[in-house]
Amino acid sequence: MDERDFLRLLTAYRNVQPSELAELFRQAPDQTRAGLERLLRENTAAFSAIVPQAIDQQTGLFTKEHFEKTLLPDAISTANEKGVPFSYVLLDIDNFHQFNRTYGHLRGDKAIYECAALLKKSFRTSERRADQRSAMKENAAGKDRRRYNVFDNITRLPDEESIESGRVGNGEEFALILHGCGEDASKTVADRFLQEVRKIIIPYKGGFIGFTVSGGTAQYLNGMTPSQLIENADAALLYSKSQGKDRITTFSQLS
């Protein structure tokens, strides 16, 4: 986002009513988030005054409330009206509470940061450059994926257990809306993400530590409610956890 676009975005947010903020996200969700991430880095106080409810301040990802109340219903509406397929993916850092207890909360926060950064790099967000390599990856994900030029949406989900225990942070679970992506294609791109997660290293006591992620994915089918879609992805995630973790399961694999 260049300086002119950033200033225009900032002016827009300062002048609209709270009820109008969601509409700005609907018009250009990923570009808007990129601008707000910059504002968060440069002026935390201004960010908090403008839009504290839409962006998670630790990761720069969408909050659960904005994701589930605005972005997911919009994706469902678009799917119903225009026939644009999408899948919902839940991802969870494996054994995260044990990771925190063993290596400390600073390393836990680093794992959250690295996972969020990789999510923004790996999926179709404004941070990812459309180079030849990424184009090849899109081709491997299927024709539907290429046909719809829509940014993916990523959120960080809260973890009540971690909040109650006093951890500085807000959860190790993430969710994605993959536009133009059926269930099989969503598994392909999610599996690729897990491969990259395994390469992440975090310095610790003169050495390095890593972590893994499990996930579940479910495709939206006409007539589903948001809660039904989330429950399907969650069931697939729980199955991944029960089968040794560090893997992706589709909801259709459970039937």
Looking at mean pLDDT, say which of 26-40, 63-77, 155-169 comes out highest: 63-77
Q: Which residues contact 140 (CB under 8 A, 6 or more apart)?
A: 188
CA distances to 33, 88, 144, 153 from 221, rounded to whole Å, are 28, 11, 15, 18
- Tell me the residue type at 61: L
Neighbours of 81 (CB within 10 A): 8
So where are the chain's domains?
1-55, 57-254
Note the pLDDT tens digit of each residue in 103-149.
999 999 999 999 988 988 887 654 333 333 343 344 444 444 444 44
In the chain, how many H helices and how many E strands?
Answer: 13, 7
Note the pLDDT tens digit of each residue in 2-24.
677 777 777 776 666 655 665 66
pTM > 0.75: yes or no: no
Note the pLDDT tens digit of each residue in 37-96.
777 677 767 666 666 566 777 777 777 877 888 889 988 998 999 888 899 999 999 999
The pLDDT of residue 99 = 96
The pLDDT of residue 134 = 42
* Structure-model confidence comparison of residues 38 and 170, the more confident one: 38
The pLDDT of residue 59 = 78
Specify the DSSP class assigned to residue 210.
Answer: -
Q: What is the helix (H) or strand (E) element at residue 88, kind and residue range?
A: strand 86-93
For the cut 80, the answer to whether the pLDDT of residue 155 exceeds it is no
Note the pLDDT tens digit of each residue in 197-237.
999 999 999 999 999 999 999 999 999 999 999 999 999 99
Q: What's the CATH number of domain 57-254, 3.30.70.1140, 3.20.20.70, 3.40.50.2300, 3.30.70.270?
A: 3.30.70.270
The pLDDT of residue 50 = 62
Q: Rg of the chain over CA atoms, in angstroms?
A: 18
**150, two tokens:** 């829509």
